[in-house]
Amino acid sequence: MDKDAQNDKLLKDFGIDAFTFADSVQELLDQFAQIRLHTGLCVEGPHISFLEEFLYQREAKRLEAKTQAITLRSDVASLRIQCDSETKEVNRLESFLEEAQKLATSTDEFEKKKANQEKNHEVVKGKLESLPSVPDDINLDELIANVRLLEEEDAGRRSGDK
């Protein structure tokens, strides 16, 4: 049995779990593991494999947090762009709504205009009925020929007056 496995077995036999220590002990273990990682120092005597596992788990958590932070920053940037786009769309729609409301006629105004137009329609209809009716059998060709004849006679009189 190698020393790492032997040390892990001893710790388990005595009910010691490095991940259940108090926060202050966790911080000291973290500092020790960091110093050991960066300096390459080795502890004489029994090999402390649980510290290496602790260090790897801490490093994994740090990398995971860093990855998550990058992902979240990207998501935030994407959401800001989307929010800006949505804000522009809302402003455009509000502007359209304001213009449409300026151009729209209220129901009261519409009813007044409709009543006024109906009144005017009745007046015009009454005037049309009071006009003498024009016979439908007027021959336009004959009328045009008569107008031309009158114009020629009038032109002949004018040239004779000169």
Contact 51, 36 (CB under 8 A): yes
pLDDT band at 46 (very low <50, low <70, confident <90, very high): very low
pLDDT tens digits for range 62-118: 899 999 999 999 999 999 999 999 999 999 999 999 999 888 888 888 899 999 999
Same domain, 122 and 95: yes
Mean pLDDT over 19-32 rounds to 77
pLDDT tens digits for range 112-146: 999 999 999 999 988 888 877 666 667 788 889 99
Mean pLDDT over 11-27 rounds to 74
Q: What is the model's pTM?
A: 0.38
Q: What are the backbone dihedrals phi and psi of residue 73, each rounded to the nearest 5 degrees, phi first? A: -60, -40
pLDDT of amino acid 106: 83
Domain that residue 66 falls in? 61-131
pLDDT of amino acid 98: 93
Residue 143 CA from chain centroid, whole number = 70
Within a domain: 54: no
pLDDT of amino acid 116: 94
pLDDT over threshold 60, residue 44: no
Same domain, 41 and 73: no
pLDDT of amino acid 18: 64
Same domain, 10 and 40: yes
Within a domain: 145: no
- Nearest by Cα to 6 from 46, 57, 53: 46
Question: 57: how many CB neighbours lie within 10 A of its CB?
Answer: 13
**Number of domains into which the chain is organized:** 2
Sorted by sequence, the CB contacts under 8 Å of residue 1 that are 6+ apart come out as 9
Within a domain: 38: yes
Contact 54, 32 (CB under 8 A): no
Within a domain: 34: yes
